[in-house]
């Protein structure tokens, strides 16, 4: 009887260990980029304080987005979502109206029933004529699963200007997320 019990215990241990290995084997990370959003920044007229520069809402079908990138998975397989990169591109910049007018810039993510989450921040933007910014990620490994799975979230661009602008600016924001998918 004792021998049978030990045999059964060993068999169960091997079975459960194997199941965990299989589960780990079918999990993977995928870098996924939802479509970029365009944010319109009105003419900047004040340089004394940080302000909301503009906002854009993104509505996505998360299941379709995942399946387009990793066909064997869908939204129920999402275990984690983390930001990998965040880029800003100025679509109508010129020598006077470009990212050098901003002393600092950051972006927040918000979604229904979620608190605002600062994603990226560049507190000391160089005073150099540029139309592209790669913003540093704030913190490491911030979990964004609940925001992204909502399918409807908002990016808010904030900043403090060092100079005023002479026209409204059109900014394309592109985020890259690492989705951890598994059973």
Tens of pLDDT, residue by residue over 53-77, are 999 999 999 999 999 999 999 999 9
Domain with 150, as residue range(s), is 28-181
pTM recorded for the entire structure: 0.83
Closest CA to 104 of 55, 160, 41, 48: 160
Domain count, the chain: 1
111-131: pLDDT as tens digits: 999 999 999 999 999 999 999
**Does any domain span residue 19?**
no
Residues 165-174 as b or e (16 or more Cβ within 10 Å = b): beeebebebe
**Does any domain span residue 1?**
no
pLDDT recorded at residue 24: 46
**Does any domain span residue 7?**
no
* CATH code at position 37: 2.60.120
**Does any domain span residue 14?**
no
Asked if pLDDT for residue 3 goes beyond 90, the answer is: no
Residue spans of alpha helices (H) in the chain: 2-25, 62-69, 145-149
**Does any domain span residue 133?**
yes
pLDDT recorded at residue 183: 82
**Does any domain span residue 66?**
yes
Give dist(CA 116, CA 144) in Å, integer.
11
**Does any domain span residue 152?**
yes
Tally DSSP H helices, then E strands, for the chain: 3, 9
pLDDT recorded at residue 13: 64
CB 162 within 8 Å of CB 75: no
Residues of the chain above pLDDT 70, percent: 86
**Does any domain span residue 38?**
yes
Sign of the C-alpha dihedral computed for residues 140, 146, 148 and 152 taken in this order:
negative
């Amino acid at each position: 009887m004792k021998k049978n019990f030990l045999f059964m215990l060993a068999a169960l241990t091997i079975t459960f260990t194997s199941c965990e290995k299989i589960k780990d084997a079918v999990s993977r990370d995928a870098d996924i980029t939802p479509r970029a959003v365009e944010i319109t920044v009105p003419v900047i007229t004040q340089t004394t304080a940080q302000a909301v520069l503009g906002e854009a809402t993104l509505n996505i079908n998360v299941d379709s987005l995942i399946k387009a990138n990793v066909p064997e998975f869908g939204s129920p397989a999402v275990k984690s979502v983390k930001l990998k990169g965040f880029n800003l591109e100025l679509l109508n910049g010129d020598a006077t109206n470009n990212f050098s007018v901003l002393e600092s810039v950051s972006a927040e993510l918000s979604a229904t029933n979620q608190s605002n989450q600062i994603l990226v921040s560049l507190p000391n933007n160089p005073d150099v004529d540029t139309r592209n910014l790669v913003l540093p990620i704030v913190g490491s490994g911030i979990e964004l699963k609940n925001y992204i799975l909502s399918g409807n979230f908002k990016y808010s661009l904030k900043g403090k200007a060092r100079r005023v602008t002479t026209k409204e600016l059109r900014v394309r924001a592109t985020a890259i997320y690492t989705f951890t998918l598994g059973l």
